[in-house]
Amino acid sequence: DVKVTQSSRYLVKRTGEKVFLECVQDMDHENMFWYRQDPGLGLRLIYFSYDVKMKEKGDIPEGYSVSREKKERFSLILESASTNQTSMYLCASSLGGTGGRGTEAFFGQGTRLTVV
Amino acid sequence: AQSVAQPEDQVNVAEGNPLTVKCTYSVSGNPYLFWYVQYPNRGLQFLLKYITGDNLVKGSYGFEAEFNKSQTSFHLKKPSALVSDSALYFCAVRERSGNTGKLIFGQGTTLQVKP
């Protein structure tokens, strides 16, 4: 089974702190994603990566950056955390290339981040 | 612009009754379509997908979904609801072109099944 592991289930950080959310997948997937989930808004894409060192902005990239130095790991960085970044963060991975078309994404268990 | 709509914030059904959770989409071409379920404080679990072929697709836990191209809909259904089906359900679409696997999600529908 595909496993996507997020480093923390719950995090509490102070305003202005630099925050790192880590995600690791064990299925050699090319694509990795960071989503933010808020009630009534569904999942919104922050950033995604389709290869090592490659990244693209999603729908709400402001205030975030990402890093993908190794294929299995995709990190989300909040450069200076703010209270409006309090949310549930979900990491996902999927098979890339033409062989991955139509395949589903697999999600981690989520990190609930509270910024105080 | 691409979008997915789940018109109902919440669906309430009695245990044993059929359930439907609605989803419509606006995406160019014929997209891939997915349903996911989320239990409290958990990540999303894949339920089923439509790629091509038969418009009725079957998935996990007795769920099925019907693809309707003319109505651009992909409604999730189950003939007989269980209390344990109570959860948050998300519809998602992905364009056929491109290899990035980017998914666009609806806002989610909470399903409440009462005994």
Question: Is A107 a domain residue?
Answer: no
CA atoms within 13 A on the CB side of A73: 9
Q: Identify the segments of chain A with pLDDT beneath 50.
A: none
A109 domain residue, yes or no: no
* Domain interval for residue A35: 4-98
Residues B56-66 have pLDDT tens digits of: 999 999 999 99
Residue B28, pLDDT score:
79
Counting the structural domains of chain B, the total is: 1
Predicted local distance difference test score (pLDDT) of residue B98: 67
**Nearest residue to B100 via CA among A31, A61, A107:** A31
Q: Is the dihedral of CA B22, B15, A109, A31 positive or negative?
A: negative
Q: How many domains does chain A have?
A: 1
> Chain B within 8 Å of A106 (Cβ-Cβ)?
yes
- Domain with B81 in it: what CATH number? 2.60.40.10
Neighbours of B15 (CB within 10 A): 14
In a domain, A23, yes or no: yes
Q: Which residues pair with B82 in a beta bridge?
A: none
Greater pLDDT, B94 or A64: A64
- Beta carbon pairs, A and B, within 8 Å: 77
The parent domain of residue B86 ranges over 3-114
The answer to whether position A106 is within a domain reads no
Q: Closest-CA residue in chain A for B38?
A: A109
CA-CA distance, A59 to A41, in Å (whole number)?
12
- Domain containing A84 — which CATH number? 2.60.40.10
| Cα–Cα distance for residue pair B105/B27, rounded to 1 Å | 12
